[in-house]
Amino acid sequence: MIEARALTKRYGDKVAVDELSFTVRPGQVTGFLGPNGAGKSTTMRMIVGLDRPTAGTVTVSGRPYREHAAPLRQVGALLEAKAVHRGRTAHSHLLALAQTHGIAARRVDEVLGLAGLSDVAGKRVGGFSLGMGQRLGIAVALLGDPATVMLDEPVNGLDPDGVVWVRNLLKGLAAEGRTVLVSSHLMSEMAVTAEHLVIIGRGRLLADTTVDELIARVAVGSVLVRSPRAADLRDLLVAHGAAVTATDSDAVQVVGLTAEKIGDLALDGGLPLYELTPRRASLEEAYMELTREAVEYR
């Protein structure tokens, strides 16, 4: 479990993280989301002790990261996949890390196989593609068989097969009861991978909720309405505060009113309806609406 309490980080006059509090629980994938400059990477660095908080606390399994005697066995982290000596082979890089924690050499071979790197284990990292580097970083994170796994943009540079592999990997780790925190800008991927979301903007917490709750709370879905009197229907719905967009000569897309309300208004107005289809909002739409005022770089 990861617990942050009033976590704050300042760089001079710049407040990167502002009294941030949240809990990442075991047994589920938690997505860590926010616009560029929101403070995600800074927060993750503070979790593993690479940055010292200006104020507040953050613990992993009940204690600060630096107090764990064997941190690789507690937290597996991928923050920067390129943080590897380019002249080392993938195997020697992992073996060196394993030896710092008394991890058996066979575990190196296990994670290389898990990451799909067995065939290039003897290749120098400097010759790796971006995707191969990401796979090596994930292998490092899993090396100590940790209870907590924290990955920053793990699918960056991966092909579709690699993206599916990461998705299944994260779900599998959570199913084993591990704590899984993953940051990503791919809302479509978070929608099918994460069960819980922690969303920040300008260093502050914007939401700590499930995917379904966020969509229901923030975004208003649209309704496709088809009628032979679409123009009259449009005028009626706009008069009741809806945003209406024509999609065809006899169809409109309606935002701001439920399907039930649209049906009632059409009935009262004597307007026939041929179709009334609600469309659930996407995670991307909900996220964009929630973070609209927190975007630092437009």
**pLDDT, tens only, 4-39:** 999 999 999 999 999 999 999 999 999 999 999 999
Query: Where in the chain are the domains?
Result: 2-209, 220-280
Report which residue type is found at 252.
Answer: V
Three-state DSSP class for 178? coil
More confident residue, 67 or 289: 67
| Residue 40 pLDDT | 95
Give dist(CA 71, CA 184) in Å, integer. 24
Domain 220-280: give its CATH architecture. 2-Layer Sandwich (3.30)
| Residue 280 pLDDT | 79
Length of the chain: 298
- Flag the least confident range among 30-39, 71-80, 281-290: 281-290
E-assigned strand segments in the chain: 2-11, 14-24, 28-33, 55-60, 75-78, 148-152, 179-183, 196-201, 204-210, 222-226, 243-248, 251-255, 275-279
What average pLDDT does range 189-200 have in this prediction?
A: 96
Domain covering 2-209, topology: Rossmann fold (3.40.50)
| Residue 298 pLDDT | 57
pLDDT band at 297 (very low <50, low <70, confident <90, very high): low
| Residue 197 pLDDT | 97
Three-state DSSP class for 249? coil
Tell me the pTM: 0.84
